[in-house]
Structure 1
Amino acid sequence: MKLIAVDKERYRKHFNRLLFGCAVCLAVCSLVISYTLIALFPDPSGSHFHWNAIGVLISAALVGGALYHYRHHEYLTEVYYVWRLKQSLNKITRKMRKVEAAAKQGNPDAMLILQYSYSGSRLLWKLDDNTLIMDELAVKQTELNNLAEKYNITLDVDNYDEQLLAKI
């Protein structure tokens, strides 16, 4: 997955609207479905927990299905890209110990994975205004740059491929 510049204003606006819309849809749909199920299948004991739970599950499935169906829509371009980037970075994070150890031994693939992780994290943190960890990231980036210089390796995040993780 390539790193691309994301318009922060557009991303935040679309993400907030999407989040609000999903919350409203979940609330309205689960109430409508629950009330419909209770009206169709009343429980003499007065406990309708299972119908309410089914209403919430069906609503969640409908909203999830709609999001999946429209994920490539122009309105969701930035939101879907950031979601995929977060998934990609999570895969790297799960193997971070092995990747860091391999990078210290001079493995160029591991260094490229780290470069991608740092660059992607920097992009996400700027989008989310999470500047608290940027200093720590700068230190790690300097360490990686020193390693790359030591082993005479050029790191270009455009060369990153998720299959490199399988090699580590």
Structure 2
Amino acid sequence: MFEIQPMNADVYRQQTRRSTLIIALIFLALAMVLSTAAVALFGEPGGDNLRFNVGGVFVAVLLMAALMRKVFWTQAWMAPAVYSWRLKRSLMAITNVMHHVKTAVEAGDPTAMKLLRFYHLGLNQMHQLDGNSSDHGQLIREMDEHKERMEALAIDIDQTRFDPAWIEAMKSASR
């Protein structure tokens, strides 16, 4: 279950820039240390040590992937980046079945209507967090039209939670 959380866009961008910088600096340090160590251990003085340098960078990539999953992912300084990653994953899951969702919305399916409302709210937040206002007007119009339809059917418009079971319901309803 994923839930949309209120977030200040300026603070979000500042924190994600900081976490990106931290990750980049750790990766650079690891890559340099591991490449230097590989050349020192296995290389030849004055020889072609490119493969050892590349090997050190490759090991740094693997180590960073492990650190990201096991250590950094749960750190407070990574929370905004993790939140946006989870939000984008939720939105992508809905996008992948959007043709089913829209068909079900037209048929008046309450689950589809909730799913589309969550999608609109999540996409709106992602646009705000990323500072992307290119299609914002169109999105707001679609959100308002859908909100009015939900209100007319007495469906709760406060759909800040995403239940992955809704995706399965859309897939099975279309079969």
Tell me which interval the TM-score lies in, with the shorter structure as reference length: 0.7 to 0.9
Match of 2:173 in 1: none
Provide the alpha-carbon RMSD of the alignment: 2.4
Aligned partner of 2:75 among 73, 76, 84: 73
1:58 is matched with 59
Deviations 1:63-92 (A, max 9, x none): 233333132222222222122111111111
Q: Deviations over 1:90-122 (max 9, x none)?
A: 111111122112111111111111111110111
Q: Is the alpha carbon distance of 1:142 and 1:25 closer, same or farther for their aligned partners in structure 2, counting shifts above 3 Å?
A: same
Gap change, CA 1:150 and 1:47, over 3 Å in 2 = farther
Match of 1:103? 105
Counterpart position of 1:153: 155
Paired residue total: 168
TM-score by length of 2: 0.82
1:23 is aligned to 2:24 = yes
How far apart in 1 are the matches of 2:145 and 2:54?
A: 51
Structure 1 position 145, deviation (Å): 2.7
For residues 36-88 of structure 1, the C-alpha deviation after alignment (integer angstroms, 9 at most, x for no partner) is 212222269x5544333322222123223333313222222222212211111
Q: Superposition pairs for residues 1-40 of structure 1, below 5 Å?
A: 1-40=2-41
User: Could you tell me whether the CA contact under 8 Å between 2:121 and 2:160 is conserved in 1?
Assistant: no
Deviation at 1:18, TM superposition (A): 1.3
CA distance in 2, matches of 1:33, 1:110: 51
Structure 1 unaligned runs (5+)? none
In the alignment, the residues of structure 2 paired with residue 65 and residue 96 of structure 1 have an alpha-carbon distance, to the nearest angstrom, of 33
Identical columns (%)? 25
